[in-house]
Amino acid sequence: MSAHGGARSASSVAPQPFFRSRWVPAPAHVRELAPDAGLPAGFRAAGVAAGLKASGDPDVGLLVCDAPEPVSAARFSATSAPAAPVLVSRERCRLNALRVVLANAGCANAATGRRGLDDAAKTQGAAATAAGVDPSEVVLASTGAISHYLPVDAVVKGILQARSQLRENGDAEFQRAIQTTDAFEKRANLEVGLASGPVRLSAQCKGAGMISPRFATMLCFLQTDAALAAETADLLLGVCVKRSFDRASVDGQLSTNDTAVLMCSGSSGVSVAAESEDELLLGEALDALLRQLAILMVADGEGARRIARVAVRGGHPETVEVAARAVANSPLVKAALHGGDPNWGRIVQAVGGALAGGGLGHPPLAVDVAIEGMQVCSAGAAIPYDEQALAQAVRREEVEYEIGLPGEGAETEVFFSDLSHEYVTINADYTT
Amino acid sequence: MSAHGGARSASSVAPQPFFRSRWVPAPAHVRELAPDAGLPAGFRAAGVAAGLKASGDPDVGLLVCDAPEPVSAARFSATSAPAAPVLVSRERCRLNALRVVLANAGCANAATGRRGLDDAAKTQGAAATAAGVDPSEVVLASTGAISHYLPVDAVVKGILQARSQLRENGDAEFQRAIQTTDAFEKRANLEVGLASGPVRLSAQCKGAGMISPRFATMLCFLQTDAALAAETADLLLGVCVKRSFDRASVDGQLSTNDTAVLMCSGSSGVSVAAESEDELLLGEALDALLRQLAILMVADGEGARRIARVAVRGGHPETVEVAARAVANSPLVKAALHGGDPNWGRIVQAVGGALAGGGLGHPPLAVDVAIEGMQVCSAGAAIPYDEQALAQAVRREEVEYEIGLPGEGAETEVFFSDLSHEYVTINADYTT
C-alpha cells in the first residue's frame, strides 16, 4: 500500500499525520487532534451494522446536530442520473438548516426510479422521527451497488439502533458505516485557531474509485462548532469543494451519489462573520482539509502506487481545464505513472487530442511540459534533459506535471491516480 | 487471443475470412481474394528493414502508383499536436493527386518541432527522387515513439532498398513495415462487382492501441484500380472514415499521427461517376472494408478479450455522441466488459456523468438500456430481466449495448474494446 494510505486500524500502528501530501501544507493555525478526540460540540454520531454489507460491517450511519439553530450547506453530484437520495435531499431538504445525516453503504439506491424515491423518503421519515426533527432537516446519502433497491426495513432498524448509540466520539463508527472498499479511513478532527477563539472542525469522508467494485462515489460530512451564517457556510463549502473534490479524478467517472455536507452547530460560541479575518482563517482550514481528503481519495486503493498533480497554465480557462482533465484521465498517462515511466510524449498526445480541431492552417500547439520541475518539451518540441534524473523523479510517490499552453492568466490543477492491475482486477472480476 | 484476431502467419493456419464481425456483413457484390492476390492494377509496394525497429522487422514501407493520372484523398488526425509527417503531408502535398506513400514504423516523428519538419521533408524529397515524382506527390506517415527524432539516413537507405523491391504483391511486406505491436495484420484484397465491371480494392492498416507501448496511432492505406474523380474519392473516403475509424475507440486517446489515404489508379478502365450506381456500390464496399478494419483495430491486442458496440438513440445528435463516447471510454464499463460482468449500472453512471449539469429542477435522465437485446433499464429505473440469460450474453465475444435517450431522430454508434490487465502491463511496464 502506498504510504499515502493510513492503517486500517489506527490502534495497531503509529498514526500518520493527516496532512501528509506536499501539495497540502497544514496551515499554521490548524492543529491535528487525536483520532478519538470526538466531534465538535453539538454533534453526535453512530454507525451500526444493519445487514446491507455482506461482510457484516457497519453500513448505516446517523449524525445529529443538537444545537438549537444549526446552519448547513451541501453540494451534490452534477450527474444527470442522480441517485434517489440525491434527488430527495436536493428537492425536499432545507439544505441550509440540516440537523441530521442519514448515510448508508452497501446500496446506492440509484437507477431505481419512483420506487427508489419512495424508499429514500421512507428512510428520511424514519430518521426524522428517531431524531425528533422534521424530515426536511434530514439529508440522505447512499453509496454501493447501482440498480439495486434499498432494503428499507433493514435501514429503519439500523436507524433505531444507531439512535441509541449516538455519542460525541461516534465519528469513527459513522466513518466505518459510510465506507465501501476504502482501504483506509479518511477522517480528521482539527482545532482551528481563529482570531475570536478556537473552534473545532471534523470530517468523515468516503471515496475509493480505484478499488471500488462499483465506482467512485464520494461522500463527505463536515462539522464545526463555529457559528456561521448560512450564506457564509454555503460560500466556504462551495469554494473549497471546487478546489478539492472537483479537482480530483480517479477514473474520470462522475458518480450518481456524490454528496458533501457542512454542518455548523455554533456551540463553541465563536461567530465567524462574513468577510472577516476569521472567515478567511476558517476557509483556509476547510480548504486544506478538503484538499487533503481529495488527495487521500485519489491515493486510496491497493492499486494506487503513485498519485500525481497536473498543473496547466495558459490563456483560456476552458482550455486549461480541458487539457488538465485530459491528462488526468488518459489511460496512457495513468499507466505510465503506474510504471514510473517518464513517457512524456503521452502528455503531449493527451493535450493535443483533447484540444483537437487543429486542421489545415492551424499551427501545431506550442505546448511546454515539465515533470518534477525538469522541462522536457518546449513549444511542442523535445529539448535535452537529464534522463536519469527524470527517471528517478517519476518513481517517487507523488509526481508533478506542469503544462504550459499559449497565453497567460488561466491556471488549474487536477490530482489523479495511476492505472493499476488492481483497478482492472477489482472492476473486471467483480460480478453483480 | 480473441477469435477476432487473425494468425500472425497466414500460411500456418487456415485463414479467417476478412469480414468476421456480425456488425459488418460483407456486401453481396464484394468478394474476398487470397492474401497473396496482390495490389490493384497500377500499384506496387515494398517493405524493408531499415533499423528503426529494434527487432529488425520491416519498418520502412514504400507504395507507388504507376498510373499516368492517379487520384487520391486523405484524412488526418484532428489533434492539435500533429506529428511532423502529418503537418508536412497536409501542407505540402497535392492530396488529391498522390503517387507515393512513404510510411515508417519505429518513430512517430512527433513533438520534434522544426527539426522534425525538416527531417520529414528530407525523407519526402528522397522518396520523390527515388520514385521519379514531385515531392508534393509523396504522402508521409509515421508511427512509433513520440518525442524521438527521425533517423533520416536510415530512412533514406530504406527508401532506396524498397525502391528496388517494389512489386505488385508487395502489400504483405508493406503491411509489416507499418505495424508496431499489432498482434495480427489488418490487410485485405477485395474484388468489387460494379455495374460497369469488376474493380479491385485493397487495404493495409495498422492500429493496436490495446497493446501499443506508445499509443493508438492508426494508419490506413487504400488502393483501387477504379477511376474516380478527385471529388468522388474525397467524398467516399470522408463518409467511410466517419462511419469506421471515427467510431472506434480503444482508449479514447487521439493520436498525433492518424492518417488514412485512398489512391485510385484508374488502371481497370472502369470509371465510377459521381452519383452513379457504381459510386454507391463502391461506397458500400469501402464502407464495409473500413468498418471491419476499425473493428479489427479495436479487437487487436492480447488483452482484448471482448469488443463491444454501443448504439445510442435520442433527440439530439450532440447528446447521443457524448453519451456513446462516454460509455465506450469509461474504464468501469470497459473493465466490466473484460470481466463478462453485466454491470449495467455503470452504463447509467457513464451516461449520467457525461451529460452532467442536471442541477436542481432538472428531472433525472430517462435513460433506457438494453444489452444484447434484453432491456434492463427503462426511463432510468431497473426493470426485471432474465439475469442468467444476460450473464451468458455478456460473456460472448461481441457485446452490444443499446441506449435510449429522450427524443428521436439522432443515432450513433461506437465500437470499443475492453480494459485488460495486458493494457496496464504493456503501457505501464514499458519504459522509454
- Considering B297, B316, B336, which residue would you say is the last residue of a domain? B297
* Residue of B123, B217, B256, B319 marked catalytic: B217
Q: Residue by residue, what is the 3-state secondary structure of A117-156?
A: HHHHHHHHHHHHHHHCCCHHHEEEEEECCCCCCCCHHHHH
Q: What percent of chain B lies above the pLDDT cut of 70?
A: 90
Mean pLDDT of chain A: 88
Q: Is the pLDDT reported for residue A6 higher than 50?
A: no
Higher pLDDT, residue A418 or B31? B31
Interface contact B344-A147, CB threshold 8 A: yes
Which secondary structure element, helix H or strand E, spans residue A370, and what is its range?
strand A368-371
Q: What is the CATH number of the domain that holds B246?
A: 3.60.70.12
Same domain, B289 and B319: no
- In a domain? residue B388: yes
Vertex B351: Cα angle to B420 and B383 (nearest 5): 95
Region of poorest pLDDT, from A60-64, A323-327, B241-245, B384-388: B241-245
Q: What percent of chain A lies above the pLDDT cut of 90?
A: 63
- In a domain? residue B2: no
Which chain B residues are closer than 8 Å to A330 by Cβ?
A: 252-253
Which chain B residues are closer than 8 Å to A379 by Cβ?
A: 113
Q: What is the pLDDT of residues B78-103, one digit of tens each?
A: 778 888 999 999 999 999 999 999 99
DSSP string spanning B155-186?
Answer: HHHHHHHHHTT-BTTTHHHHHHHH-SS-SS-E
- In a domain? residue B5: no
Q: Mean pLDDT highest for which of A412-426, B119-133, B305-319?
A: B119-133
Which chain B residues are closer than 8 Å to A365 by Cβ?
A: 80-81
If you search the block for the grid coordinates 458496440, which residue do you land on? Answer: B309
Please give the average per-residue pLDDT across B116-139, as a whole number: 97
Same domain, B282 and B335: no
pLDDT at A209: 56
| Active-site annotation holds for A217 | yes
Strand spans (E) along A154-285 = 186-194, 197-206, 219-224, 227-228, 248-249, 259-264, 271-272
Which chain B residues are closer than 8 Å to A90 by Cβ?
A: 360
Same domain, B347 and B219: no
Strand spans (E) along B168-314 = 186-194, 197-206, 219-224, 227-228, 248-249, 259-264, 271-272, 307-314
For B111, name the nearest residue in chain A, comparing CA atoms only: A381
- In a domain? residue B21: no
- In a domain? residue A8: no
pLDDT at A331: 83
Question: For chains A and B, what is the number of CB pairs under 8 angstroms?
Answer: 272
Q: What is the CATH number of the domain that holds A320?
A: 3.10.20.340
Tell me the three cell numbers of residue A129.
422521527
Q: What is the pLDDT of residues A187-245, one digit of tens each?
A: 999 999 999 999 999 999 988 653 333 334 678 899 999 999 999 999 999 999 988 88
Same domain, B203 and B328: no
Q: Is the pLDDT reported for residue B430 higher than 80?
A: no
Q: What percent of chain B lies above the pLDDT cut of 90?
A: 63
Same domain, B269 and B388: no
Q: Which domain holds residue A211?
A: 30-299
Residue of B345, B376, B380 with shortest CB distance to A145: B345
* CB-neighbour burial class of residue A97 (10 A; exposed 0-12, middle 13-18, buried 19+): middle
Interface contact B251-A331, CB threshold 8 A: yes
| Distance, CA of A155 to CA of A103 (rounded, Å) | 10
Q: Could you tell me if B140 and B120 are in contact, meaning their C-beta atoms sit under 8 angstroms apart?
A: yes
Q: Which residues have CB under 8 Å from A339's CB, separation 6+?
A: B427, B428, B429, B430, B431
Region of poorest pLDDT, from A225-229, A303-307, B273-277: A303-307
Same domain, A285 and A316: no
Closest CA to A322 of A369, A273, A355: A355
| Distance, CA of A251 to CA of B252 (rounded, Å) | 13
Q: What is the pLDDT of residues B283-300, one digit of tens each?
A: 999 999 999 998 888 887
Same domain, B323 and B178: no
Same domain, A191 and A83: yes
Same domain, B287 and B312: no
Residue of B356, B421, B427 with shortest CB distance to A78: B356
Interface contact B357-A114, CB threshold 8 A: no
Which chain A residues are closer than 8 Å to B331 by Cβ?
A: 251-253, 331, 419, 423, 427
DSSP letter at B112 equals B
Residue of A78, A149, A353 with shortest CB distance to B253: A353
- In a domain? residue B197: yes
- In a domain? residue B52: yes
Q: Is the pLDDT reported for residue B12 higher than 70?
A: no
* Residue of A217, A224, A256, A259 marked catalytic: A217
Distance from CA of A386 to the nearest CA of B (A): 13
Interface contact A351-B81, CB threshold 8 A: yes
Q: What is the pLDDT of residues B152-204, one digit of tens each?
A: 999 999 999 999 999 999 999 999 999 887 778 899 999 999 999 999 999 99
Please give the average per-residue pLDDT across A77-83, as a whole number: 83
How many structural domains is chain A composed of? 2
- In a domain? residue A265: yes
Residues paired with A398 in a beta bridge: A307
Q: Could you tell me if B431 and B311 are in contact, meaning their C-beta atoms sit under 8 angstroms apart?
A: no
Q: Give the CA distances from residue B167 to residues B64, B65, B70, B155, B164, in Å, rounded to whole numbers and listed in that order.
A: 9, 11, 18, 19, 9
Q: Which residues have CB under 8 Å from B102's CB, separation 6+?
A: B60, B61, B62, B123, B124, B127, B138, B139, B140, B141, B155, B159
Please give the average per-residue pLDDT across A400-424, as a whole number: 90
pLDDT at B129: 98
Residue of B146, B418, B429 with shortest CB distance to A339: B429
Residue of A357, A418, A428 with shortest CB distance to B341: A428
Q: What is the pLDDT of residues A139-148, one digit of tens each?
A: 999 998 888 8
Q: What is the largest CA-CA distance in chain B?
A: 71
Q: What is the pLDDT of residues A9-27, one digit of tens each?
A: 434 455 689 999 989 999 9
Q: What is the pLDDT of residues A276-299, one digit of tens each?
A: 999 999 999 999 999 999 888 888
Distance from CA of A410 to the nearest CA of B (A): 19
- Considering A299, A320, A347, which residue would you say is the last residue of a domain? A299
Q: Is the pLDDT reported for residue A352 higher than 90?
A: no
Same domain, A50 and A165: yes
Interface contact A355-B379, CB threshold 8 A: no
The model's pTM is 0.82
Q: What percent of chain A lies above the pLDDT cut of 70?
A: 90
Torsion of CA A267, A268, A269, A271, to 10 degrees: -100
For B148, name the nearest residue in chain A, comparing CA atoms only: A382
- Considering A250, A275, A299, which residue would you say is the last residue of a domain? A299
pLDDT at A301: 58
Same domain, B192 and B43: yes
Residue A197 CB-half CA count within 13 A: 10
Same domain, A131 and A260: yes
